[in-house]
Structure 1
Amino acid sequence: MAEYKHGVYGNLSDSVVESMVTVSTVPVYFGTAPVNLVRGYAEADIVNAPVRLTSLSDARARMGDSSDWEAFTLCEAIAAHYNTTAEAVGPIYFVNVLDPDKHRAKKETVEVIGLVNGTASFATDRAILDTITIAAEGADEGAQPYAEGADYTLAYNHNAGKVVITAKEGGAMADGNIAVSFFEVTPEAITSEDIIGYTSDDGQYFGIDALQLLYQEQFVVPNLLAAPGWTDDPEVYSRLVKVAQKINGHWDAFVVADLPLQDGKSAVDTIDKAIAWKDDNAYDSERSAVCWPQVSDYTGRVFHLSTLYVVESLRADNDNDGVPFESCSNKAIPVCRQHFGDGVPNRGFDQVRANGLNERGITTAIGWAGEWVLWGPHTAAYRFGSTTMDARSIFATAIRMLFHITNYFQLEWATTIDEPMTRALQDRIINREQAKLDGYVTQGALLGKPTVVFDQANNPDSSIMEGDFRWDISVTPTPPLKSASVYVAYTDEGFSAYFEDGE
């Protein structure tokens, strides 16, 4: 039975290979953020909901920030986009699953600190700031605590990672020891199931399923998805790839994932182990890129390559007016070495060995041309020499361009749904879509002569009577210059110069 349709849709057709408002890049990250450091978090709608972040200060104000990236995985993305030696690039979107109301310790923590010259501080990134109460050390059990606003002010210094308490002039708080009581969040309680999430019967969205809210609430099309620290779990990877297909029934997104450095008690610390793990765990969707290993910068911060892949994809797309035809491979990243895990003796590998990863659909990082770069332009489905692989699966930019075209088509014509389908509208759609395709050719995103047609064979009377119409677009995405070879031959012809008469 034919599927009922009401709306405008975009799909990928089978590849045609004779030989073997605009859509811009919207990266969405899933994970945990220290929202416990945000005052009024409960009313801020920052748990299991997409949040747009535009700068380092904006991210810290709205989601909190921490140097403990293992506990608060989204903070890695904050640093990568807004706090490295490279130019900041955004905006980005976060879906945080850490809920301080649920993921908190059962007992209060008490810190006794000294108030000197009206100021006191203590280091923590676990305190739920909204639960802090302060009393004089040794105060009677029934005594009233100091009042925030009247006796003191409370702030969080992200650079120092400290809660800062300042006594107010005229208030009751005086120099001396004070007892600060608060509840702490427990990010270690978060599991892959929290990241995967679900949609409840009463219309609440959790984890990855909260992606459905982005377009509904902000009219933004998500098209690049990552969950660094979590996508090395096959269930998270599988769920993310599945959800990325037809978000809200329409939008296509590309997933960037990581292979693990450790699988249970077994280390994944060599190229052969990484390739075997990828194959064994079916990290092979053409709708994704997978990365291995991790990398560190000069300060010792360790990044997942998926994070830097998103950063450099966003940067390249922004340089090309939001059209995703330029690969992030061979783009400089602000790191200085490969990282295989603490205590692992592996000293790393060069381009020659990195190509062994690339030919199996794994993106990596290498030192090249005087800097560290991402290395690998392929999708996870790529396997060098395969005779069964769809040609569109070779390069990530090809898949992302196809998604860009289908997403853009849907956005362009969404407002025409339920208008009379006149011949004039049919021609307008064809002419406009052809103009866009020709523009992509001029820009360098497509090659040759892309076409859009309204074919009678694909629009039978039975479909037209139902108001269902189809346009077919054929395009050739521009491939990257993956290799360049020159052949130099020796010749003895030049010896004749010794015997030529000079002028």
Structure 2
Amino acid sequence: MAYFHGVKARQVGSSVSTPVTAASGIVFVVGTAPVHMVSGKVNVPILGSNYSEAVAALGYSNDWSKYSLCEVMYSHYKLYGVAPVVFVNVLDPAKHKKTVAASDVDLTEKKAYLPLEAMKDTVVVKSEAESGTTYQAGTDYDLFYDGEKLVLELLDGGKVPETAKKLNIAYSAVDPSMVTDADIIGGFHVETKQTTGFELIDKVFPIYGVVPDILLCPGWSHKAEVAAVMSSKAQNINGVFEGKALIDVDTTTVTHYSDAPAWKKKNNINSRIQILCYPMCKMGGKVFHLSTQAAGLMATVDANNDNCPAESPSNKPLKIDSTVLKDGTETALDLQQANFLNSNGIVTALNFIGGFVLWGNETACFPSSTDVKDYFVPVSRMFGWMANQIILTYWSKIDGKLNRRLIDSIVDSFNIWLNGLTSEEKLLGGRIEFKEEENSTTALMAGKAVFHIYMTPPSPSRELEFVLEYDADYVSAALA
């Protein structure tokens, strides 16, 4: 030891770890976007922190039947004001396209208008006679997307005559109808070494450091195979994390609420990982899948609870003015009808007192499962959130020395955190124990330690009953 004369001090790391707060209500959505507008990416997770950022990366159209990701952009950013969202576009302009034969297009004030689907790099412009002069982009005309159109604008000094009334235009156009269930589901392609579709959820945490816990696929989730894959991925994100899959009942076939439970059974929607929604909803002229608005509401409620899913989104306001089927037919539900859906594990929307709210606390496993940990949405989400929290916080402890100090630091730090959640009323109570009977000598020798967590999230106040009774004694007291 080096010679020292005097007073000194040093610091050591705390034995109690500060938990890493896992954000809650982060949406992962797979679908289609007009990426040809912005030279956007295909089958790449895009983290959008706001509306303009998402539009710049993916493009935007109000035709949500063709471009499903735009529905989520509008709902999440404009209506609910929550972020982030992780988008995966599977519409590939190089693959999902068609050739549009040359035809004469009218010129109005030196502009011609093509459909949004037209890919500007493929446009070929000639004089009105198809065999006539071929004009050049950047010299004779310019192309740009504006609203729902691709606009061709003549340039001053170009070769197009001032007297021209039409142009002969051919182009290739993206065709969203060519996107298949297989494109949405995705997978790993051995030949190209490319991961696609829902399989890309495992790339989000390594790339962005966030754990998405709400899986969405509006316009596709009503399909049995897509719903099954969504649920499988939500249950096993990166092999360790857990989320929830929000699924829609098909309102093209289920046009009456009483048929929804039979559809649920037929399509094998019965997991605690799934939240099933019926019907669709509408705000102004825009029609939304209920799963889209439910995701925005869940994220909002979580954010209001410090990024914790302890509170149910049920009986919280939706941004809608009616409930509808896919064809736009209004289908207003009364309380008994909404409760019928809830009793069959289906979340709906109700306009009863105070405007439209999300109505229902049950995951899709209800009524088959009556384990409160599984069937109550906020309780089930709390268990998943807690599991994610544990992994994020204690991953750094892996491969450290398995000794008493490590065990005590985990127990102490986690109990402190559980006590904090209890004082914040996010838990009714909780504790962590290192139990001798769960940790054999041979297991400890093999480097395996088991910690037992007991926790009780608060259940939603689903039913409040007030008993009214006439008490004759008050008559005597009042008139005596």
TM over 0.5: yes
Show the counterpart of 1:89. Answer: 82
Deviation at 1:109, TM superposition (A): 5.7
The reply to whether residue 325 of structure 1 matches residue 318 of structure 2 is no
1:129 aligns with 2:113: no
Aligned position for 1:429: 410
- Which range moved further: 421-430 or 248-257? 421-430
Secondary structure in structure 2 of the residue aligned to 1:354: helix
8 Å Cα contact 1:167/1:174 also seen in 2: no
State the one-letter code of the partner of 2:49. Answer: T
2:41 equivalent to 1:22: no
TM-score computed with the length of structure 2 as normaliser: 0.89
Whole-angstrom CA distance in 2 between matches of 1:329 and 1:130? 48
**Correspondences of 1:331-342 after superposition (within 5 Å):** 331-342=316-327
- Report SS of the residue matched to 1:244: helix
Which residues of 2 match residues 431-446 of structure 1 at below 5 A? Answer: 431-446=412-427
Return the alpha-carbon distance in structure 1 between the equivalents of residues 167 and 443 of structure 2.
75
Is 1:188 aligned to 2:187, yes or no?
no
Q: Give the partner amino acid of 1:127.
A: A
Residue in structure 1 matched with residue 356 of structure 2 by the alignment: 372
Q: What are the residue-to-residue correspondences of 1:64-463 with 2, within 5 Å?
A: 64-83=59-78, 86-108=79-101, 110=103, 112-114=105-107, 116=109, 120-122=111-113, 124-138=115-129, 143=133, 145-148=135-138, 150-158=139-147, 161-168=148-155, 172=159, 175=162, 176=164, 177-201=166-190, 202-262=192-252, 267-299=253-285, 301-342=286-327, 347-383=331-367, 389-448=370-429, 450-463=430-443
For 1:200 and 1:454, locate their aligned partners in 2 and report how far apart those are by CA, in whole Å.
44
Q: Distance in 2 between matches of 1:324 and 1:90?
A: 15
Gaps spanning 5+ residues in structure 1: where? 1-20
Shift of 1:155: 2.4
2:114 & 2:320 partners in 1: Cα distance? 28
Is 1:52 the counterpart of 2:52? The answer is no
| Secondary structure of 1:155 counterpart | strand
Q: C-alpha offsets along residues 210-247 of structure 1, whole Å, 9 cap, x if unaligned?
A: 11211122222121101111111111111111111221
What's the CA shift for 1:88? Answer: 2.0
Where does 1:32-47 land on structure 2 (aligned, <5 Å)?
32-38=32-38, 40-41=39-40, 46-47=41-42
The normalised TM-score by structure 1 is 0.85
- The percentage of aligned residue pairs carrying the same residue is 31
In 2, the alpha carbon distance for the partners of 1:270 and 1:460 equals: 57
CA contact (8 A) 2:301 2:311 kept: yes
Deviation per CA, 1:440-486, whole angstroms, max 9, x where unpaired? 112222112x1111222222233223322222211111111112221
What is the CA distance between 1:348 and its match in structure 2?
2.7
Displacement after TM superposition at 1:194 (Å):
1.4
Per-residue CA deviations over 1:330-354 (Å, capped at 9, x if unaligned) read: 111121222134386x743211221
Amino acid at match of 2:95: K
When structure 1 is superposed on structure 2, of 23-32 and 176-185 the one drifting more is 176-185
Which secondary structure state, in structure 1, belongs to the residue aligned with residue 400 of structure 2? coil
Secondary structure of 2:105's match? strand
Q: 1:215 to 1:311 in 2, by over 3 A?
A: same
- Hey, what's the Cα distance between the residues in 2 that align with 1:361 and 1:439? 32
CA contact (8 A) 1:222 1:251 kept: no
Unpaired segments of 5 or more residues in structure 2?
1-19
In the TM superposition, residue 375 of structure 1 has moved relative to its aligned partner by 0.5
2: CA distance between counterparts of 1:137 and 1:111? 6
Q: 1:60 to 1:173 in 2, by over 3 A?
A: farther
CA distance in 1, matches of 2:277, 2:284: 21
Displacement, 1:313? 0.4
Q: What amino acid is aligned across from residue 479 of structure 1 in structure 2?
A: S
- Shift of the 146–371 alpha-carbon distance from structure 1 to 2, 3 Å rule, reads same
> 1:113: how far off?
3.4
Say whether the 8 Å CA contact 2:23–2:308 is kept in structure 1. yes
- 1:178 and 1:321 map into 2 onto residues whose CA distance is 58
CA distance in 2, matches of 1:341, 1:147: 41
Once residues 474 and 109 of structure 1 are traced to their aligned partners in structure 2, the CA distance between those partners, rounded to angstroms, is 69
Question: For the residues of structure 1 that align with 2:448 and 2:37, how far apart are their CA atoms?
Answer: 51
Note the alpha carbon deviations across 1:21-42, whole angstroms, 9 max, x for none.
421122111111111222x33x
CA positional deviation for 1:126? 1.3
